Structure 1
Amino acid sequence: MSVLVTFMLPVGAPKNVQIKTSKAPCYEFLGEGDEMKIEGSCVRFLKNGTGPQMKMATTLTIDRHSGAFEQIVQFNDKGGLVHTGHCIPAKKMF
């Protein structure tokens, strides 16, 4: 999964970070970021065949020093999945 983080407001301001990912269904997260970490969340409602819609809440946290990340996905505010790993920084474009 690739991740692009954009600071829209200064550090310390609420909802100052926009996180865009390449992984469906949460391509865009809003959250907070500072010198230590970036954290954002996304909520989507998914069709469940002919059954009721399913709520999917995803939280993505990235440690800016170590590159460690954690993605927590919950379904209908109950159990879910936890993905962990390590980010590799991309080369600066300019």
Structure 2
Amino acid sequence: MIEEITVNVDEKLAVDKFNVDEANPHIVLVDDPDPAEFDKLILCCPAGLYKRSPEGDTSFDYAGCLECGTCRILCGSTILEKWEYPQAGMGVSYRFG
């Protein structure tokens, strides 16, 4: 008999620690980003940082960034004004638990 294994991504991400550099965001979007490009990031960001409300308003928060570079690879030349790794001691600290 094969036992089904399930993984709750939210629980796994909750063990990680984030040191957020409030004074120096490592990801900055352009003013008025292209909706189609933004939709790519809604679908592909593993941390779910890019969101659209039912009214159509977009939001983004770099604080929970996993530093994977997905947004940079998909849309770096279109809607990202800045993407860089956080300064030393800042950003995500992965913890396995």
> TM-score band (shorter)?
under 0.3
Query: Which structure's residues are more often helix, by fraction?
Result: 2
TM-score, normalised via structure 1 length: 0.25
Higher relative contact order (CA 8 A, sep 6+): 2
